[in-house]
Amino acid sequence: MIRVQQEDVDIAAMIAAAKRPESGAVVVFNGIVRNDDIDAMEVEAYEEVALRDMEAIREEAVGKFHLHSADIVHRIGRLAVGENIVVIVVGAGHRSEGFRGCEYILERIKERVPFWKKEYRKEGASWVKGHREPRRVPTRTCLCPASFFHFAVPKSTLIDAAGDGTFMKPDHYMPPEFRAAIITVSSSRTPETDTSGTKIRELLALDHVPVVHYAIVPDRVDAIQSGLARALELANCIVLNGGTGLTHDDCTIEAVSPLLEKRIDGFGELFRLKSFGEIGTSAILSRAVAGVIRGKVVFCIPGSTGAVTLAMKEIILPELGHILTHANK
Amino acid sequence: MTKISVRTRLFAQFREQFGGAVPLSLEAGATVLSALNALAAGVPDGEKAFFEEDGSIREYVVLMRNGKRIETTEAGATQLADGDELAVFPPVAGG
């Protein structure tokens, strides 16, 4: 249910509707009129577009966070202090998906859905300062000289790009031509126990990036290098995971680094910066690195599901098209 | 030269200043930019609402043609057709 309405919202009914046998969590966000010394608030909408945008946001959130349901009701008209403004109810298998999905929906609404609020005070009325949109270039900002440089990005990151994928014109990006290879570096794992490799595959699939090659190679420089050579024949995006740490066996970096024609130092820097946010100073034990070989991009990341999720979702998938476009110019 | 009719939708501060739905009759081939100019000419200080002193569209102005966003930098290159709906609004503040 996606609604824009004057009437109040039956939150209990929304929660009841979100409860499914397979759901373990229902998360509710209820935005209300705060008493900032105001008498009332008036909410205005560009209703057709607001409904359409919220539908799109719902779809994005359901896909990203595997939500079982997501319902949004945003009110318009004059609202008194304490009244409901917006209610978002999401159902999910687990709490973390529910919380993240609910927050995602709210933040996207704040960024881009055409609603406006006017606050009424004794001394007069004023419009609530809106969200200044960081989007004055059609796709994503690029450091290269042509500011309207266009590059391919996977589907879900298109939507995410500046929060406004729906506003792009189709001729502003090229059809994705990604071919991914996954190499798990481990002397003990099998395809059945390769959880991080499986995770990478799932995340690529979510972005519609085809996986054309998958292999598990042991922690030996020669094995890693021949595995990489094979992958480079088939794919243009190779993700190696595992063997990036400091133990005696770890040699992925030693195997791959000498083969990189250009290193993408920023990848490792950003990966460790983001890892620091999750695991603290232990982040320095990862030697994650990326680079380019003959127009193809190679990433070496740690072989844990947490690390591959972070690297894939927050860095690799959003920048993949950008990197490949530059690497092939 | 034939004329085209364009419906405009204005919201929030712009609605208060210009009206919520201003019908425009424009020359065929008119662009989003010329529609904005026509709107601005209709009210006192209208230009200040949409344009910087150098004549460029203010960064915070959001434009939609038939529900789809148009970058302000492309307003001069985007032609309108008869029956189009042009929405003009300030930054959004929902949620």
A61 inside 8 A of chain B by CB: no
Q: What is the CATH number of the domain that holds A289?
A: 3.40.980.10
Cβ contact B95–A49 (<8 Å): no
What's the whole-number average pLDDT of chain B? Answer: 94
Is A206 found in the same domain as A319? yes
- What local confidence, expressed as pLDDT, does residue A190 receive? 94
Domain for residue A136, yes or no?
Answer: no
Name chain A contacts of B72, Cβ cutoff 8 Å.
136
Average pLDDT over residues A166-185: 63
Is the predicted pLDDT of residue B62 greater than 90, yes or no?
Answer: yes
**Rounded CA separation B64/A76 (Å):** 21
Domain for residue A291, yes or no?
Answer: yes
A232 neighbors A296 (Cβ within 8 angstroms): yes
Is A164 found in the same domain as A76? no
Average pLDDT over residues A150-163: 41
Is A188 found in the same domain as A58? no
Average pLDDT over residues B22-28: 94
Average pLDDT over residues B52-69: 92
Please count the CA atoms within 13 angstroms of the CA of A105 that sit on its side-chain side. 33
Average pLDDT over residues B62-80: 93
Domain for residue A149, yes or no?
Answer: no
**Which of A48, A49, A132 is nearest residue B91 as measured by Cβ atoms?**
A132
Is A180 found in the same domain as A122? no
Is the predicted pLDDT of residue A251 greater than 90, yes or no?
Answer: yes
**Which of B11, B59, B68 is nearest residue A44 as measured by Cβ atoms?**
B11
- What local confidence, expressed as pLDDT, does residue A132 receive? 75
- What local confidence, expressed as pLDDT, does residue A142 receive? 53
Residue B56 token pair: 């460029």
Cβ contact B12–A167 (<8 Å): no
Give per-residue pLDDT as tens, A225-241.
999 999 999 999 999 99
Domain that holds residue A238: 155-327
Cβ contact B93–A131 (<8 Å): yes
Is the predicted pLDDT of residue A177 greater than 90, yes or no?
Answer: no
**Rounded CA separation A290/A268 (Å):** 7
Name chain B contacts of A137, Cβ cutoff 8 Å.
71
**Rounded CA separation A39/A17 (Å):** 34
Name chain B contacts of A161, Cβ cutoff 8 Å.
none
> Percent of chain A, pLDDT > 70?
87
Cβ contact B71–A136 (<8 Å): yes
Average pLDDT over residues A68-95: 97
Give per-residue pLDDT as tens, A114-142.
999 999 999 999 999 888 764 433 344 45
Token pair 């879900």 in the structure block, residue = A156
Is A172 found in the same domain as A211? yes
Is the predicted pLDDT of residue A173 greater than 60, yes or no?
Answer: no
Q: Which H or E run includes A57?
A: helix A47-65
Is A236 found in the same domain as A198? yes
Domain for residue A71, yes or no?
Answer: yes
Is A162 found in the same domain as A69? no
Average pLDDT over residues A313-322: 92
Is A70 found in the same domain as A7? yes
Domain for residue A312, yes or no?
Answer: yes
**Which of A49, A130, A137 is nearest residue B91 as measured by Cβ atoms?**
A130
Is the predicted pLDDT of residue A148 greater than 50, yes or no?
Answer: no
Domain for residue A140, yes or no?
Answer: no
Domain for residue A60, yes or no?
Answer: yes
pTM for this predicted structure: 0.57
Domain for residue A83, yes or no?
Answer: yes
- What local confidence, expressed as pLDDT, does residue A306 receive? 94
What's the whole-number average pLDDT of chain A? Answer: 88
A318 neighbors A292 (Cβ within 8 angstroms): no
Is A169 found in the same domain as A304? yes
* Domains recognised in chain B with CATH numbers: 3-89 (3.10.20.30)
Checking ipTM against 0.85, whether it exceeds it is yes
Is A169 found in the same domain as A300? yes
Is A162 found in the same domain as A121? no
- What local confidence, expressed as pLDDT, does residue A209 receive? 87
Cβ contact A128–B62 (<8 Å): no
Among candidates A329, A328, A325, A285, which has minimal Cα distance to A303?
A285
Judged on CB neighbours under 10 Å (0-12, 13-18, 19+), A92 is: buried
Tally of domains in chain A: 2
Q: What is the CATH number of the domain that holds A66?
A: 3.90.1170.40
- What local confidence, expressed as pLDDT, does residue A208 receive? 80
Last residue of a domain, one of A91, A110, A127: A127
- What local confidence, expressed as pLDDT, does residue A285 receive? 94
Among candidates A1, A3, A5, A2, which has minimal Cα distance to A79?
A5
B5 neighbors B28 (Cβ within 8 angstroms): no
Is the predicted pLDDT of residue A211 greater than 80, yes or no?
Answer: yes
Is A251 found in the same domain as A111? no
Last residue of a domain, one of A127, A147, A163: A127
- What local confidence, expressed as pLDDT, does residue A133 receive? 60
Please give the C-alpha separations between residue A132 and each of A135, A150, A162, A179, in angstroms, as whole numbers: 9, 23, 12, 37
